[in-house]
Amino acid sequence: MTLLETILFTLVFIAALYGIYYAWLWILRKMSAKMVDSDKMNEDIRKVEVIDVREPAEFDANHVLGARNIPISQFKMRFNEIRRDKEIYLYDDNLNYASRAANILRKDGFKNIHILKGGFSNWTGKTKSNIK
């Protein structure tokens, strides 16, 4: 194999791995949660648990008003803080963390799990920043 062929093969292999990873996340989302748009989440926000699964620095920079931060890096240790008697709305920036968090909750028997379609960038409701 020439160097060019090796590089091309490596790039195709990496692209295939990314494709498999994103397919796996899509399957997790389908099995674990329903996708909701910003309007539906805004409509229900006072009667549900809204969880931001981004890391604290991102949460502090800007987040949905009324959301709690349980970062994905701590989610397996802290998801028991979430009430089981309410619907759960999860969000992050690009649906990767929210999909993984929804799967953790589903495996533990949580019901009525939702993920904000398009992530935080699609949120049209009120936001809050903890940075002064």
pLDDT, position 132: 67
Please indicate, yes or no, whether residues 75 and 123 belong to a single structural domain of this protein. yes
Total domains in the fold of the chain: 2
Cα→Cα distances 33→39, 60, 106, 122, Å: 17, 26, 8, 18
Tell me what the mean pLDDT of segment 60-86 comes to. Answer: 95
pLDDT, position 35: 94
Tell me what the mean pLDDT of segment 26-33 comes to. Answer: 83
Tell me the pLDDT band of 30, cut-offs 50, 70 and 90.
confident
Question: Is it the case that residue 22 has pLDDT exceeding 90?
Answer: no
Please indicate, yes or no, whether residues 101 and 67 belong to a single structural domain of this protein. yes
To the nearest whole percent, how much of the chain has pLDDT over 70?
Answer: 99
Please indicate, yes or no, whether residues 70 and 9 belong to a single structural domain of this protein. no
Total Cβ atoms within 10 A of residue 28? 20
Domain that holds residue 43: 33-128
* Encoded amino acid at 26, one letter: W
Please indicate, yes or no, whether residues 2 and 39 belong to a single structural domain of this protein. no
Please, is 47 exposed, middle or buried when counting C-beta atoms within 10 Å of its C-beta (0-12, 13-18, 19+)? exposed
CATH number at residue 114: 3.40.250.10
Average confidence score pLDDT of the chain: 93
pTM, full prediction: 0.83
**Weakest mean pLDDT among 12-26, 58-72, 75-89:** 12-26
Please indicate, yes or no, whether residues 71 and 96 belong to a single structural domain of this protein. yes
Tell me what the mean pLDDT of segment 82-88 comes to. Answer: 95
Tell me what the mean pLDDT of segment 96-112 comes to. Answer: 93
Tell me what the mean pLDDT of segment 84-106 comes to. Answer: 93
Q: State in Å, rounded, how far the first CA of the chain is from the last one.
A: 57
Please indicate, yes or no, whether residues 19 and 51 belong to a single structural domain of this protein. no
Helix then strand then coil, % of the chain, to nearest 5: 55, 15, 30
Please indicate, yes or no, whether residues 89 and 42 belong to a single structural domain of this protein. yes
Please indicate, yes or no, whether residues 55 and 74 belong to a single structural domain of this protein. yes
Tell me what the mean pLDDT of segment 91-111 comes to. Answer: 93
Please indicate, yes or no, whether residues 27 and 37 belong to a single structural domain of this protein. no
Please indicate, yes or no, whether residues 39 and 91 belong to a single structural domain of this protein. yes
Contact assessment for residue 113 and residue 105, using Cβ atoms and an 8 Å cutoff: yes
